[in-house]
Chains A and B, each alone.
Chain A
């Protein structure tokens, strides 16, 4: 196995260009599960845990190798909230935002936030340069993205105007180390509420019709919230599996979204 310890981006990009089948390793919290349990044996690994450019964070960017432990202290309220629910302290010390994006699990806890704030994914190839991909074009299916074989995810790029009011919640059957049954982010910006959910479709989704409905209201009454919750439950596309049922996921989607709207209003 060819192993590259990429301390800067140029090294990582060269390595990827030379061995396109090589896999990126950040926190290892997904890749190593494949190695341990599915006996996956990578032909090449490019480690970016200590890659300088990917560790940077500012008001417009979150470097791909920034760990959840660091994001627990993020100024973005919902991001900090969700970071605290990912795996365990040990997982958060290793796992990264970029890894969450790359794995693109339907249950990825970081993904509804990316969808809610309308963030973009920055990817770079040595030979083809940089692309900035809207989140909705990046996630295309269960663990499937439009990342090309020669590209690396370098950052999540945030919009200039970030909603100050933002709230996250996640349902699981245990209070730690649990994969989301439903996770949800609601933000409130100048354009009104935006609602994103995970674990209820192959990719993170926005509840567009519910957003439209609630943003057309002048005051948020109980009845409005009820109708909003109903629309959210209708818009999600969950499945039944060993973690929950379709019906429960629909129901919980509506309840969470409506509670988060209230939290945004009272924050």
Chain B
């Protein structure tokens, strides 16, 4: 089947079997490998994308169900080569190490701050509880998000 969707603001089509995950199609058919495959069962958040306004694990989205959907991936967060403030904040605080979880954190943060520019720390912790980071212990990420929430813009 052919699926047509709006991907990072651009209309894209792909020929797919239908049962594949959105993640697989993004990575293998649409040349967007930024969303990472680390568990394929919704237990790590490395493949987080924004689908019709919701932050979801793209590994658990069936591509057949994406017709006419609007999707934002990590590749769609920075605009025209300029890092998004969320990306700037993570970089500044040292929130990137191996970086495999980073795309998921960036997308989840974009979703969180779009809905609530000033989340408190408890809300931040809960919002990222579906994003596993194996390297940093989350400290630098938390400091980055606290700083963004403080700033509020």
Contacts and interface: CB of A to CB of B under 8 A. Distances in A.
* Best-surrounded residue of A32, A42, A87 (most CB of chain B within 10 A): A32
A69 B42 CA distance: 15
Contacts of B57: 90-91, 94
B130 A87 contact: yes
A87 B67 CA distance: 26
A28 B108 CA distance: 19
A31 interface: yes
B contact residues, range: 20 to 34
B55 A89 contact: yes
A176 B42 contact: no
A91 B130 contact: yes
A16 interface: no
Contacts of B42: 29, 32-33, 87-88, 90-91
Interface in B54-105: 54-57, 59-62, 64-65, 67
A32 B61 CA distance: 7
A42 to B, nearest CB: 6
Main secondary structure on A side of the interface with B: mixed
B127 A89 contact: yes
B21 A32 contact: yes
B21 A36 contact: yes
* Best-surrounded residue of B40, B56, B67 (most CB of chain A within 10 A): B56
A90 B45 contact: yes
Contacts of B35: none
B151 interface: no
B19 A93 contact: no
A175 interface: yes
A45 B130 contact: no
A147 interface: no
Contacts of B55: 89-90, 93
18 contacts: A3-B64, A5-B65, A5-B67, A25-B62, A28-B60, A29-B42, A32-B59, A32-B62, A45-B18, A87-B130, A88-B42, A88-B131, A89-B55, A90-B42, A90-B45, A91-B60, A91-B130, A176-B129
Given A5-B67, A29-B60, A47-B64, 11 more contacts: A28-B61, A31-B62, A47-B65, A87-B42, A87-B130, A91-B57, A94-B54, A94-B56, A94-B61, A176-B126, A176-B130
